Amino acid sequence: MEDPKLKAIAERLDKTVAQVLIRYQIDRGIIVIPKSVTRSRIQSNFQVLDFKLSAEDVQLIDSFDCNGRLVPMTASLGHKYHPFENEEF
């Protein structure tokens, strides 16, 4: 959320970094469940359908992949919709 490249995208689009990242995941077909207790942030999290990320924006965000996971989702291994089936844990 503090990365200067993400901040630049957000500033150019007049959005927050959180909104940019939520939109990025939605565009990838990922269901996003943002967590917030602040009314203004909850409202902000819903304001992600009025802009598009450019191909360059997506490519830049894709480049942040660091080949690491906080939650490996091993309980769902073998399920036909498990997104990380080809990864080693």
Helices within the chain (DSSP H only): 4-13, 17-27, 39-46, 55-62
Closest CA to 26 of 4, 66, 58: 58
Q: Is residue 86 part of a domain?
A: no
Q: Is residue 47 part of a domain?
A: yes
**So what's the pLDDT on residue 69?**
67
Q: What's the rounded Cα separation, in Å, for the pair 55 and 66?
A: 20
Q: What's the rounded Cα separation, in Å, for the pair 5 and 26?
A: 20
Query: What's the domain range around 50?
Result: 4-76
**So what's the pLDDT on residue 43?**
95
Q: Is residue 81 part of a domain?
A: no
Please tell me the pTM assigned to this model: 0.75
Closest CA to 52 of 8, 9, 5: 9
Q: What's the rounded Cα separation, in Å, for the pair 85 and 89?
A: 10
Given a cut of 60, whether residue 89 has pLDDT beyond it is no
Q: Is residue 85 part of a domain?
A: no
Total domain count, the chain: 1
Q: Is residue 34 part of a domain?
A: yes
Q: Is residue 55 part of a domain?
A: yes
